Structure 1
Amino acid sequence: MTTRSTTSDNSSPAIANEQFRQLLAGSRQMLVSTLSERISESFGHVDQTLFEAADQAETNQVQTLFFDSMREIRSRRGEIERQFLRLIAENFADFLAGKVPPPRDLQGMEADELSLVQNEEYEEALQVTTMAQHVNNRCVQELFTLEQRLAVINNGRKPSDEANPFAARKIAQAFSDALRAHSFHPRIKQMLYVLFDQHVMSCLDELYKTLNQRLIDAGILPNLKYSARRAPSAPSKSAAPASNEAPNDDEQPSSAHASAPNNAPNQGAGAAQASSAHSAGGLSQGDGAALHAAAQAAAESLQMLSNLTSLIQTQRNQAPQAPIYGETRSISAYSPSDAQESFSIGELFSALDRLQESSARELPQNIHTAQKVAPVKQSLHEDLQQHSEKPGKVKVGDAEADVIDLVGMLFDYILDDDNLPDHFKTLLSHLHTPYLKIALQDKAVFSNHDHPARRLLNNLAQAGVLYGDSNDNQPLQAKIQWMVEKVIHEFKGELAMLEKLSEELDDFLTVQNRQAELVERRAVEAARGREKLLQARQDAESQIHQRLEGKNPPLLIRNFLELTWVDVLVFSQLRQGVASPAWQNALKVAEQLILGSSPLEAVALAQFKSTQAQLLDQVREGLEQVGGYQEDGIRRLLADLSTCFHAVQAKAPQIADKIKHDLPPSQLGSMLGEDAPATTPAKPSSELSAAAKARLKELDDLEFGTWFDIKHQQRLQRLKLSWFSPTTRKYMFVDQSGHRTLVMSREELAQALESQQACIIEPERKPLVDRALTTIYKVLQRITGRQAATAN
């Protein structure tokens, strides 16, 4: 057998080792056998799923759709299953031969082809991405070790997702491709994808483990380990292979790291991070510098906490009953003035447990109402006094009051934060009581940037900032509401639960980000397609206007050339280019139509009449290409054109001018939408104010990805600059979910910036808790009139 090798960019050397080929053949059989069984199981649930859907159908028409689809799927099931397994086998064949298929994208599609990409096709691409992402998130360890072992087989090169026949994306894409030949209704396809995910993609976890064991048994990297290691300088998470037998690979998968809660209130993060770094192995020079930076950051955080505590105590002593932040007083302001004893930490936790239980009971009614800080303090004070053996004689101790006040100021800040949409502020405000328990148990939440509770609150807030203002934020809002409810109902002090929730939110946002990127890329590609269409239309209009210059054809001929034949020229240019015979022939047809619309001498007239039938046939072919006409409409138009020619040549222009024909709107022109040239052009830059002209110059350096707040459709929207049209000189903006939302000319944007109808949003890089502590520190400095020790 001859193996094939190629130097193509999309290829790698074929796998020549016969032992490896046999090993892969056995693995392929295992995969195909498993997938064959599972896809059969998936289709076995179709009837029941469609029956249930039919029972709940909103109309008779929808119910009929479900029943008809049931029969259609039964008849096509075998074909789909065979095609799916055939594609899986072809993926293996390509891998053995060293072929790497190019990634799927919309680059290189012509404008007319791009306009035909249906929304349902895009939705299917999202289905594939989402299913694959779920598997990848679940199987980080198994996939990493499997890829390393496949790299040994694959001539030392780790296969990409596009080449790896075991990759979740390849398997999901094979199912999508198998469905592509069948015109099922989008709702039916959605159900098939859900069943495929439940019964096929769900089996990959166990399959990857089995495949890894098979390769281990064959002696391929039997000692390869996958271990998690916390980076000493940042809260990011990374993992690296522990064995030096794995092939070199610059890419390392992300992995959740385990972190033990720091229960010593006065202990900083630096020592713990240093211990973690040393336990993971020796430190390189770079690691040592990072460790030093982490230790310095931890020391600064501890100093900040010390300064804050000092300022809180100063304010409490200066004005015991005055608000310490906003309108909220210190917890000490509620204490009896003659109290000498302090509540124990156990009494405080018991009171907070009761408050949390009460909050959990009332949450369904209160979840959409912000929980203010002052009522929480009032309720805590009342509960403590009610359950005290010496009511009216006991107070909250100063150390505990510092923590309670600082947590209260943090949640006051959240309710005032302009970066967060109101409904996200409301949701986060309900975490006040659980975070009081966390801070009283572990003050490191204020000093350790990597504390699980701090990281969760930062991540929840960041999600709200990035996606909370989007029209499509319902899934995110529901997710965050679920997480808040889970904390209130189930949190008993275990920080591992918060760690898990933070990782779950990261996974959710990864999918959200990918979906937004796909939506935005599709919007940009569609805009580029319309740009090519617009350029082609301008070229065609220019050619027609040149040939009409100095001519005065009947209105029918002029309108036909300017409104309809332009589309034929555009179509030819996009498909074949301006040098093509089709484009040149379409121009000649235009010239002949103009020629026949003016009186001709005998010789020229005879020649025109001899080619008139052929000319009208060419007009028919052009109209059939671009569409928009029924056969009867084409026949009537050709008859009107012929009558017009006869009237002109008979020197009866008044008859030619009376011939009316309602031409349909331009099919290609309607595809331009907002990108079409404006009927009333924007104010030229020369008429702008001096300030607006200065803004216009600033826009020249504007980068894609810049965020704006723009007043649009009677409300302020947060939009991202995604694309600029060199032809129309217009900017395209997308919302936080990636959808095209607004198109503005440079002049319009400059005027909006000058009139404060738009403003550029500087990215907020500091996490929520960091911003809150900095702001609280400055407020306390101002109201106490005291400059504490330097803090960051």
Structure 2
Amino acid sequence: MNKGSMDHSVLLTNARVEFMRSFTEAMQRTIPRCIEDCFIKADDTYSSLEQGRLLDARTVLVEQGASIIQKLTASMEQLLVRSFKTTYSTYRPTANFNPESLTLIDPTAFEGGLRQEEITGRFRLEAEDQLRDLNIRIALIFEQEVTNERENPFRPYLFSRCISSTVEGLGVSPNLTDILVEQISNNFLSFVPSIYTAVNSYLAQNGIAAQLQLKIKKSPVATSPIVGGDDQIDGSDDNVLSEQTGPSGLANSSLPSKKVSQIEQFFSAALSRAANLMSSNQSSSDAAGQFQSNVDQHVPQVADVNYEKSQAFSWLKSGEAVGDAIRNFFRSDIFEKKQSSMQLGRSNAHNSPLIQESDLAHGGQGSQSFESDEMPSGVEFSDGNVSSPLGGSSNLTSAIPQFQRSFTPAVDQMFDRVGGLRNLILEQRSALNDLSSTVDEQMTIDVVAMLFEFILRDTQVPAEIRAQLGRLQFLVLKLALKDHSLLTQKGHPARLLVNRIGSISLGLKQIDPSGAEITKEICRIVETLLQDESENPQIFSRMLDEFDAFIARELRLGSDKTVNAIEGAEQARNRTIRFAHTSVQLHEALLGLTIDPFLQNFFETVWVYALELADRDDVKRAHRFRLLVPDLLWSIIPKANEEERAQLLALLPIILSTLKEGMASIQCDTSVQEALMNWLVDAHTKSMRISHTTQQQKLPSLSAIHHHFNRFFDDPDLQNFEVLRSESASEVTQFLDKAIKELDMKVQLLDQVYVQTLPTDQLDENLESQDAGVDIVMEQLKTGVAVEINLGGEPSQGKLNWVDPALTNLILTLEGQEQPSMLSVRMFRRMIAHGRVKFLETEPLFERAVQSLLKSADAVELPRAA
């Protein structure tokens, strides 16, 4: 299982918050639906008794609606507390009722239990796929090999129990209780999948995949230490240490001197290569001298009596290439394979009779309860060493905070005598190696030290910013020892924060000419990270969010012109989303209905614009305009009796008045209005004729048609951007262009400049089919990023002031341009593909360091291979 970097207690707590948020929003939309549903059912029923009960239920919902929502939320909170306490515990509350085991019991309680089970089953069936995925994710979080819905703290039983207990607490009659429970359950049913989807999405974003891993169980096989030369080491992931290896896993002094010299050569070459690659502004002689000084200071000489413990890359297997070893170290599949073998070792060890039950009851040495903030997942046995599943031993990881407090200097003390930046890990490398107990730990120390060596010499980042990042060395080392995904996954929060700071630093002068404010914010972030003692890597995510918000605020408030441009772009976006949602709602509502093509075309090409405009300005008028759709559809249906004819005659003036008002609001063409009115005259004339055939037909009533359009009356979700990438994307794009023109935004529209110059070829078709959320361009597309754009053959530098969260448009300011420019994301990607735009930062800071390290390792191995 890959749990990312978040402790599972924190993960579940945050998932619970997401669950409660989705549940509360669903109930806020459910109660109004129930009110309308009760009225419709009361209108349709032929039983006066049933009608009275439905109207009484509606009265309760109208008068106590807000209170009921609060009680539902409070009840769900209590249920979740109980559910979390009993998850994977021996004691559970039960919702099952077995009639054979019940004797003296109130029949109403028995029937209530059966009703609750039936409602739970409906919820389960409605969200079958989403619930299955969530069951798997919960099992993975608790390291279980099989799923069990009873162990899911968010299981459907909570919904049915919450609704029934809340309604029963209202103190109404039993008959009214049944109606309310049924109405709330029915109207809440459609929201259940979205609630589970929200929780699944959150867990997926934090590395919990909905897929159980196949675990192959093997019986323990005793292996004797291997004695011999290089030919006896197979180079597999499960390392077996030679008898000639010391207690710390370091190769002894019998290692051939030629091999030692090559490793030393790599260590020095890597540092020198970092200087040559990253110090483009310095002369080669200065860089070489600076790095030679660094090598002399930190790398022990051969004459050192403790050379065996401090030699460079002593963790290499005999005969193994440096480049291969480091490349494998950065591969997530290699790490996961090691983790799988370690988990297998733990399983075999726990099943061994040599371990006492008392030890298992306490979870091993130093284990804690689930509620702890630092709960180790157990003790692992690998290569004869005891370590945690994430590779960090208690000695080393517990000592690093002291290293951080004692050896992390102030910013001005990060510079050495020649102006270079100090590598704090290399300075303390010997002491760190003395505390390490596994080869993986020693390798992590050296790799993190070398990564920071490249980061500290990267001249694309100002020295002051590099000095701040350099103060995080011990913190990053501690995270890497506890969670290897920091080195294997680009999406780790610590890497993302380092990369974001590096990207902003590249265009620092364009964002903040003095650099004071951003430097001050980076300093605040670094100090917060260093002072935090929770050891929760999610603090990097929080700092990243705060940094993004700070950058967005600084860029947005850069000038009045930029503010006006961004506000205009947001208004255009909101209008477009509202239009797209309304179009989708209307299209879905009309599906399955037999409608005259003329009327359907009017609804989807004319009336949808009136609906969007009304939604934008007047909520009450928007509701009237939406009601027109089912009213107009019912008005042209043949009427079966005089009562319906009278109802139509009363409704017609309202329909015609609303139509004229809506078409006038969008300045609809006169010819279109006349054609519609003429068509309606003929349609209504036919509908008023009562024939024998009409009387025999069972035609839908007005309330039935209104019920069919229930979802059409929902407010558009302006935070759902997926609708902008629907099948009707071209029409949505046209509406967006029209909205931008109507707002008369004072920006340069770059799409119009380049649309005639960029060729339309097969590459553009491929761009349309790509997932904009995952490709490399979208990963770099963030506020504050510096770009170079080709304006009329001459490149000009600029910065991204605002990127629409919907990924439709962006605002950028270019050097030499007074007005900000607006560019669609689609056109931006086309220009990237055709070489008309490029990011000034070709690769993020952390990734540059990784690639430089690998290139340095390969450079050492090439001469030996030749």
TM-score, normalised to structure 1, is 0.35
TM-score, normalised to structure 2, is 0.33
